[in-house]
Amino acid sequence: MKSFVFISLLITTVYNAAAQDSFFDPIDTVETPTGTMLIYGDRTWAYLGEENFEGIMNARIHEMVCGDTTYSYKSKWTNEDVITCTTNDVSLLKDTLWMCVLDSLHNNYAIPFDGVMTSKYGYRRGRRHNGVDIDLETGDTIYAAFDGKIRYAKYHENGFGNLIVIRHYNGLETYYAHCSKLMVAPNQDVKAGDPIGLGGNTGHSSGSHLHFEVRFYDNPINPELIFDFKKKAVKDNLLVHSGVFHPNSGSSRSSSSSSSSSSSSSVNKNAKTHRVRSGENLWIIARKYGTTVNSLCKLNSLTETSVIHIGQVIRLK
């Protein structure tokens, strides 16, 4: 009881002393029996780590996804990896799941940034573009799309630059890439509309913009299936089925996507190696060559959570 009172007094003191400081930069930490607490100017505290949290924020959706097939989909929680499980191939879903994007407990949303969309989801110059690009100026404020918890907030070496990933109570994750500044910390709770970062041009980017993605069990979905960026509105419900994970879901098929699809349909089953293409994961490669993820992991010293990159050579035999 004494320790609780002490922590409460310390938090109050730090909060009052730093009221004039940035509301979203951690201004102090406190070690408690249950973990490290980050102290913020706009809130009392947020846990740096939650030892027993398994990452499942929507038990109903998780149960439906796992019960759809004999494959065990995973909803891992990691602050270090952008993709938590490369074998979550939800394109294999048999049924259609009804997802409440907004519900009575979490019924707020925000457009991450009110700007002009400069690039859509789908194939772009022959490569898969897993989100939408929204024009902004470096320093513009980016907002959390829904209520949730920060899973990843740091610099991503392989293209995203300063990246924020939020896991939401509706079962989705949203990605905010190329930020100039991060204003949140991993495991921090956020509400829809909270400022989370500043727009920028970090990572593989040719100009200031926000690259915004929506993912379901690590698989990208066209954000325009959920967000109406022109009307600044969101759809209350989303029907999740294997088709929504197609690179051209929600948009017309382009000639480049058709050629990409046809070129990937012819596979040399006797090939000894495979060079990773855009949109592929270990599960897709294993299914393509009639092998298993476990076999690929052993041959390439990987695990099912390993991130593979475009152009990487994967041993098949």
What is residue 70's predicted lDDT score, i.e. its pLDDT? 66
What is residue 210's predicted lDDT score, i.e. its pLDDT? 97
Q: Average pLDDT of the chain? A: 81
What is residue 6's predicted lDDT score, i.e. its pLDDT? 39
CA-CA distance, 11 to 145, in Å (whole number)?
A: 28
Structure tokens at 30: 């406190």
CA-CA distance, 299 to 308, in Å (whole number)?
A: 14
- Cβ 275 vs Cβ 313: under 8 Å: yes
Q: Which of 118, 172, 104 is nearest to 144 (CA)?
A: 172
> What pLDDT digit, counting tens, does each position of 111-136 carry?
999 999 999 998 887 778 999 999 99
> What pLDDT digit, counting tens, does each position of 178-214 carry?
999 999 988 889 999 999 999 999 999 989 999 999 9
pTM, entire model: 0.70
All domains in the chain, ordered by first residue: 2-47 (no CATH), 59-265 (2.70.70.10), 267-315 (3.10.350.10)
What is residue 280's predicted lDDT score, i.e. its pLDDT? 75
Task: Give me the residues of the chain with pLDDT under 50, please.
Answer: 1-23, 42-44, 252-265
Q: Which of 49, 45, 40 is nearest to 78 (CA)?
A: 49
